[in-house]
Copies of this chain bind each other. A is one copy, B any other.
Amino acid sequence: MFVSKSCSYGIRSVAYLSGYPQGKYVPIRDISNDLNISYHFLTKILQMLTANNVLISSRGAGGGVALAREASSITLYDLIIAIDGDELFTGCLLRLPGCGTKTPCPVHQEWDVARGKVNHFCCHTSVTELHQHVLLLSDNTLSAP
């Protein structure tokens, strides 16, 4: 419905990494243990982030993945685009065939405004801001009111 589960895992992982200095390698095994995410699955997700220059990686002893740049410069927008693509920021809310700027559906304009706000705060929220929340709630606790 919102970001994919893969994307959520990626976001949590990068927020976790933001507790380490930029360039410091952390084994994916540690991340998967601490955040309760399947190791091999997480490996594939983080590969997308290294391919998109959000992370760097190093094999072998002392290796792992590391932030490719300052945590404060890595935004939610970067991560969502890297893992889920731009659909969230471009698609029709109702998935109506033919909806676009030429032939907008009746909610196209209003959805565009709301989505613009989402786009804006995703571009202005860095992973450092997520760090505390992710570390405190790293288990399988479900969303609660």
Contacts and interface: CB of A to CB of B under 8 A. Distances in A.
A contacts with B: majority SS: loop
A42 interface: no
**Residue among A110, A133, A140, A145 with max Cβ neighbours from chain B (10 Å):** A133
Interface in A91-145: 91-103, 105-107, 110-111, 113-115, 117-118, 121-122, 125, 129-130, 133-134, 136-145
Given A1-B88, A106-B129, A118-B114, A11 B97 contact: no
A136 B93 contact: no
Given A92-B143, A97-B138, A103-B137, 8 more contacts: A1-B2, A12-B96, A91-B143, A98-B143, A99-B137, A105-B133, A106-B129, A111-B118
